[in-house]
Amino acid sequence: MNIVEISQRRYTTKRYDKNKSVSNQDLDQLLTVLRNSPSSVNSQPWHFFVVNNKTSQDKILPAIAEFNHARITDSSYTIIFCIKSSIEDSYLKHLLDTEIKDGRFTDPKIAQSMDRDRRFFIDLNNKTQTDLHRWESCQLYLALGQFMFAAASIGIDSTPIEGFDPVKMDKLLGLKEKGLQSVVVASIGYRADNDSNATRPKSRLPKEEIYTFV
C-alpha cells in the first residue's frame, strides 16, 4: 500500500477480534517507531507503558471508561502515553550526554548551542505547570499520530482513547512517584468482522475547504 491507501484504510477501530494477536515482532516495530518519533528540540518528554491485554489488562481497566472496556479487553496491547511532570536539569544533561554519545554533534560548540536552545524553548513553555503540560502533550500527540499510521502500514488496527480517568490511571500505575502523568491511551489489534466503523465510508471536509495555497 502507498501512503494514501494507508490513510484511506486506517480508521478508529471500535470492535476487535480477540482471537487475533499482534506478534512480538510487529509490537517491537511499533515501539521503535514511538522511540523514533519527533519532538520539539528533541526533548523526548515522554514514557510509554505497554500493557499486554491478555495478562495484565485488569491493572488499568478501572481507569478506563466503561464504554471503552471492550477496546482494551479484545485488543492485543494498550499503550499508555505519559509526559513528565517536570523537566529537570538532570534530565536535560542526560539528553545532551546521550546525543553526544550517539554522535549527533561533530563539534562541542554545536552541542552547547543545542543545549542552550533546548533550555530556551523549554523555559518558554514552562511558565506554569499547565503550560508545560500542554507543550509536552503536543509532543506526545506527534508520537501518537506516527504510532497509528505505522500500525496501519503493517495491517494493524488502532484506537486512540481519551475516554479514561487520568487521575485514576496515574494512581494505578504509581505515576506520581515516577514523575509522570498519563495523557492519552491507544489500543492495537485486529478489527472484528462486525466492526461497524469498517464499513462506513471515510468522511472528511472537501480539500477546497481545508487547503489554501499561497
Q: What is the pLDDT of residues 30-53, one digit of tens each?
A: 999 999 999 999 999 999 999 999
Provide the residue type at 68 as one letter: N
Rounded Cα–Cα distance for residues 188 and 74 (Å): 9
Which among 156, 175, 152, 153 has a CA at the least distance from the CA of 165?
175
Q: Is the dihedral of CA 194, 196, 198, 199 positive or negative?
A: positive
Rounded Cα–Cα distance for residues 67 and 197 (Å): 16
Model confidence at 182: pLDDT above 90:
yes
pLDDT at 1: 81
Where do the domains of the chain lie?
A: 3-87+126-210
**What percent of the chain lies above the pLDDT cut of 70?**
100
Q: Could you identify the residue written with the cell 480477540?
A: 18
Mean per-residue pLDDT of the chain: 97
Query: What SS3 class is residue 24?
Result: helix
pLDDT, tens digit, 9 for 90 and up, residues 1-31: 899 999 999 999 999 999 999 999 999 999 9
Give the mean model confidence (pLDDT) for residues 85-92.
Answer: 97
Model confidence at 127: pLDDT above 90:
yes
Name the E strands within the chain: 46-52, 77-84, 157-161, 180-189
- Please give the model's pTM, rounded to 2 decimal places: 0.95
Give the mean model confidence (pLDDT) for residues 67-89.
Answer: 97
What is the dotted CATH code of the domain comprising 3-87+126-210? 3.40.109.10
Rounded Cα–Cα distance for residues 192 and 157 (Å): 10
